[in-house]
Amino acid sequence: MPTTAYNPFENAQAQFDNVAEYLKLDEGMRELLRQPMVEMHFAIPVKMDDGSTKVFRAFRFRHNDARGPAKGGIRFHPHETADTVRALSMWMTWKCAVVDIPLGGGKGGVICDPHNLSRSEQERLCRGYVRQLYKQMGPNSDVPAPDVMTNAQHMLWMMDEYETIAGGRYPGMITGKPVGMGGSLGRTEATGFGVIFVLKDLLRCLDIPIESTSASLQGFGNVAEYTARMFTELGGKVIAVSCWNQSDKTAYTFKKADGCDIPQLVEIKDSFGSIDKEKALALGYEVLPGDAWLSQDVDILIPAALENQITPAVFPNISEKVKILCEAANGPTTPDCDELIKNRGIMLLPDFLTNAGGVTCSYFEQVQCNMNYFWDKTEVLEKLEYSMTKAFRAVYELSKEKNLYMRDAAYIIAINRVADAVRLRGWA
């Protein structure tokens, strides 16, 4: 799957430039918003279990904090690049703005493959990340969260390191923590469930019953898992799931024409989202090449893995039956596909709106930590559905009213909110 030929930062800037032109933003404002305001590049020395020292390159970028402290995940990935983190930090700014939470955009990354690190090496890496960044992070400045290949345990090690240095308790300095340790109920499910809250409302607007729809997904990490779980619980059928196989170093698509049993697939996946091929075969799944997820005859395609997966080169493989492209990953579609999507009449649910459930629940987590009073799961999920549906409706209505592509409508709302905050602060 192509992940390197396209530069995500150039994609993010191209998307921004288009909308900045439409909104006639001033030169200064454009320059400020088309790049991160702060970039930290650093090295983390980690004592490995065999006694040697390994040095990991790491990043934390703050794109914009005019609307509130920077917010965004930390990714562990062997192919992480500064430009990917730049793009992702920018998308976080738009994401927080489109759902109207008082947070800015940030993102972090470490170039590493956690598959090859023991639990204690991962702990030392997390603690090392905080030691290097301590002065630049905190509940009022920059608040990390889980992302690709990071989880609640990683967040807790980071919080513990931060609190050890700070000499106090600061649960609002990071989100996505384990429940009972400052985490929010529903945070694990939030991104995937948020995807479905948005999709469900679009289907309602289009008068399509969800029980009549089928989907094909790329990815089987946290976001894909909970997206697939809720989609199937509501009666939709997941025909295929594609994911990375660590032992074969390749991706496969697992298909069941009459619908995948998602809890069963979860049983046979590892913590990074790789489904066990042999076990899947034994359970009667067809095992197809990794890119076969894209060419299935389904109503809905849900890319829920990495960026730059849908390009003009693979676009013709998308079945004529597909009506909705529901972007659960960050930046899964390259900008040169937007015209192709429009021409085919496919409805697009843009990434930074569709997958904003995670950060919205992170915001709820911070609120609960500040009050030191935790809500039950029903309350969290009700609030999440309310926020996601409200944000989606605003985007959908603007797109109808002005005959705009849904990505552009989402950008217009988000960029306007951030530009207003920048102006009110007197920055531009």
Name the phi and psi angles at 385, rounded to 5. -65, -40
Contacts with ligand GLU, 256-295, as mask; x by CB under 6 A:
----------------------------------------
Q: In angstroms, give the least distance from the CB of 91 to ligand GLU.
A: 7
Q: In angstroms, give the least distance from the CB of 326 to ligand GLU.
A: 15
Name the phi and psi angles at 337, rounded to 5. -90, -15
* 358 sits near ligand GLU (criterion: CB under 6 A): yes
Which of 105/128 has CB closer to ligand GLU? Answer: 105
* 71 sits near ligand GLU (criterion: CB under 6 A): yes
Q: In angstroms, give the least distance from the CB of 327 to ligand GLU.
A: 12
Which residues fall within 8 angstroms of residue 208, CB to CB, at 6 or more apart?
Answer: 299, 323
Identify residue 353 by its one-letter amino acid code: L
Which of 98/262 has CB closer to ligand GLU? Answer: 98
CA 102 to chain centre: 18
Angle separating helix axes 222-233 and 187-206, nearest 10 degrees: 50
Where residue 340 falls (left for φ over 0; alpha for ψ -120 to 50; beta otherwise) is alpha
* 362 sits near ligand GLU (criterion: CB under 6 A): yes
Catalytic residue among 107, 177, 200, 255: 107
Q: In angstroms, give the least distance from the CB of 370 to ligand GLU.
A: 16
User: What is the footprint of ligand GLU within residues 136-165 (CB under 6 A)?
Assistant: 145, 147
Residue from the set 64, 81, 89, 175 that interacts with ligand GLU by CB under 6 A = 175
Which of 162/254 has CB closer to ligand GLU? Answer: 162
- Best CA proximity match to 377, nearest among 183, 217, 228, 137: 183
Q: In angstroms, give the least distance from the CB of 258 to ligand GLU.
A: 33
| β-bridge pairing 324-326 and 300-303 | parallel
Whether residue 109 contacts residue 79, with contact meaning beta carbons closer than 8 Å, is answered with: no
* 3 state DSSP class of 273: coil
Which of 334/362 has CB closer to ligand GLU? Answer: 362
What tokens were used for 203?
Answer: 């289907």
| β-bridge pairing 324-326 and 104-111 | unpaired
**Does 107 participate in catalysis according to the annotation?**
yes
Would you please indicate which residues are annotated as catalytic (active-site) residues?
Answer: 107
Binding site for ligand GLU (CB under 6 A): 71-73, 95, 145, 147, 175, 330, 355, 358-359, 362
